[in-house]
Amino acid sequence: MGKKRIITKTKEELLKERERVEAAVKKEIKLRAPQKVKEGRIYIYSSYNNTILTLTDNQGNVLYWTSAGRIGFKGTKKGTPFAASRVAEAMAQAAYKLKVKKIKVFIKGIGSGRNSAIKSLAARDLDIVSVKDVTPIPHNGCRPKKPRRV
C-alpha cells in the first residue's frame, strides 16, 4: 500500500464554499401566510441524515419549512450540528420576515443537530416560550405471537 494522501482545501476554496452556503441561507423567502401572525411553533426533526425545521402557526398550518439539503449541504454533511445551526439561522430569518416573535419549539428525533438548532434559534432574538421533546418512545408495544407448536 502506498502513502495515504490527505486532501486539504485551500483558503480560497473554503471561503467560496462558505459564501455558497451563506448565499443559500439568504435566499428569497417565499411568504405563504397572507395574515401576520405573532406567535408560532417550530418543529425540529433531527435524524442521523438530515435536520428539518418547520414553522407553523398555532393551528398547525405550515408557514415555512427548510432543511439542510435545501440550504445546500449534501451527503453526510446534512446531519452535522453545523448544518443544523445554518438551517436554524435560515428559519430565524424567515420568522423575522413573517413577523413571528414568540415561538414554541418541539423537537423530534435523535440526531446530532438538536442542541445546535435550539442554540441558534435562541441567539437570533426569537422569544422561545417553551421547548418540548416529542420523540416517540416505545413502551413494550403489542403482545408477541405465541410460539409455534410442531
In a domain? residue 10:
no
Residue with cell 482545501: 9
Please report whether residue 19 resides in a domain. Answer: no
Residue 42's domain comprises 37-133
Task: Give the angle subtended at the CA of 107 by the CAs of 86 and 78, to the nearest 5°.
Answer: 35
The predicted-structure confidence for 40-68, as pLDDT tens digits, reads as follows 999 999 999 999 999 999 998 999 999 99
Which stretch of 4-8, 22-26, 72-76 has the lowest confidence by average pLDDT? Answer: 22-26
Instruction: Say if residues 79 and 68 touch (Cβ distance below 8 Å).
Output: yes
In a domain, 92, yes or no: yes
How many domains, the chain? 1
The pTM for the full model equals 0.74
Q: Is 9 helix (H, G, I), strand (E, B) or coil?
A: coil
CATH number at residue 79: 3.30.420.80
The confidence score (pLDDT) of residue 46 equals 95
pLDDT given for residue 125 in this prediction: 85
CB 81 within 8 A of CB 115: yes
Cα separation, 48 vs 43, in Å, equals 16
Residue 1 pLDDT > 80 = no
Per-residue pLDDT tens over the stretch 84-131: 999 999 999 999 988 898 999 999 999 899 999 999 999 998 899 999
Decide if 31 is inside a domain: no
Reference 81, options 119, 55, 43, 109; nearest CA is 119
Averaged pLDDT score across all residues of the chain: 87
Residue 26 resides in a domain: no
**CA-CA distance, 25 to 53, in Å (whole number)?**
13
